Amino acid sequence: MNLALVMPDLGFGIVTASVLAMGAVGFSMLYGITGVINFAYGDEMTVAAYATYVVNVLLNVNVWISAAVITLGMGFFSVAMARGLVAPFKRRRAGTFALMIITFALGIVFQNLLQVIFGSSFQSFDVSQPRTVHFLGMIYTNQQLVIIAIGIVAMLALHFMLQFTRVGVAMRAMSDNVPLARACGINTPRMTDLTWFLAGLLAGAGGFVLALNTTAFGPSLGETFLLVIVSAAILGGVGRPYGAMVGAVIVGVVTAMSVLVLPAADKTAVALIILVLVLLIRPHGISASAGRT
């Protein structure tokens, strides 16, 4: 294979992986720690992208400041969603299926509200003209480099939190066994809120970089991307943030490289086929240790 042809796609794959990592880790943490399969996650990312667009373009604020503000805002929005919508259903002992359908419905509501407000035309951020950077045969715009940097910083921050803070240990404990964690004195409602908050931050930042990477986005930005996120999260093993990171890199690179042999339009389908195969062959993901069921 000609390296000169492969490297640009590999480069693009790394960008995709960075975007994907944020979504996959957020989705995976929510699923593992709170037990909620959040099918609205992709549309939350779209909401974040539109909110950033409003602040950036309509209110004329610098794009990076807009993104930072909205990312923080999405954290609180996510907690509000958990308290206002998910918690009441859990109090009524709604099952996994009901919660799944509810988040799906919520995603549909988000997407179509955006459609009503902004119409189906495409939007883009007000960013400076991109400059290209060559690196080991990979071609990046400076914005793509920022996307990679944001992805790496987010993952490193998460790593330090999970490994070296009490909150992180508590979260990992909850991911294994919620009743036991509660019995050990962990304030599980607070941890649940915090998990939703972190997932919201990741949806906020992830939505922004996804939109930035797509350059022009519409209300369905996060809809199909959700399935790519789920693919990476399941590949990494549900509830395993590090697995989700690995899954994101694999799915990101494989889908980007698939354009060498398949039509570019089939990228998402490639991610979904990975998902189906993982579910059938190794439903607990690549990082699950042997004997753990």
Of 65 and 101, the one with the shorter C-beta distance to other proteins is 101
Return d(Cα 101, Cα 81) in angstroms, integer: 15
Of 76 and 104, the one with the shorter C-beta distance to other proteins is 104
Of 71 and 231, the one with the shorter C-beta distance to other proteins is 231
What's the closest the beta carbon of residue 82 comes to other proteins, in angstroms? Answer: 14
CA angle 74, 238, 217 (to 5 degrees): 40
What's the closest the beta carbon of residue 156 comes to other proteins, in angstroms? Answer: 29
Of 167 and 227, the one with the shorter C-beta distance to other proteins is 227
Burial class (CB in 10 A: 0-12, 13-18, 19+), 72: middle
What does the block give as tokens for 121?
């035309």
Which residue type sits at 73?
Answer: G
Element holding 173 (H helix, E strand): helix 166-176
Calculate the alpha carbon distances from 74 to 129, 211, 233, 268 in Å: 27, 15, 21, 26
Of 78 and 141, the one with the shorter C-beta distance to other proteins is 78
Return d(Cα 170, Cα 46) in angstroms, integer: 30
Of 133 and 273, the one with the shorter C-beta distance to other proteins is 273
Of 76 and 89, the one with the shorter C-beta distance to other proteins is 89
Return d(Cα 199, Cα 26) in angstroms, integer: 4
Residues that bind other proteins (CB under 8 A): 37, 85, 88-89, 92, 94, 96-98, 100-102, 104-106, 108-109, 111-113, 115-116, 119-120, 224, 227, 230-231, 234, 263, 265-266, 268-269, 272-273, 275-276, 279-280, 283, 290-293
What's the closest the beta carbon of residue 112 comes to other proteins, in angstroms? Answer: 4
Return d(Cα 171, Cα 231) in angstroms, integer: 23
What's the closest the beta carbon of residue 69 comes to other proteins, in angstroms? Answer: 26
Of 142 and 224, the one with the shorter C-beta distance to other proteins is 224
Return d(Cα 164, Cα 119) in angstroms, integer: 45
What's the closest the beta carbon of residue 200 comes to other proteins, in angstroms? Answer: 19
Return d(Cα 144, Cα 137) in angstroms, integer: 15
What's the closest the beta carbon of residue 252 comes to other proteins, in angstroms? Answer: 17
What's the closest the beta carbon of residue 141 comes to other proteins, in angstroms? Answer: 27
What's the closest the beta carbon of residue 217 comes to other proteins, in angstroms? Answer: 16
User: DSSP secondary-structure letter at 216?
Assistant: S
Return d(Cα 8, Cα 139) in angstroms, integer: 6
User: Up-side HSE of residue 1: CA atoms within 13 Å toward CB?
Assistant: 9
Which residue type sits at 199?
Answer: A
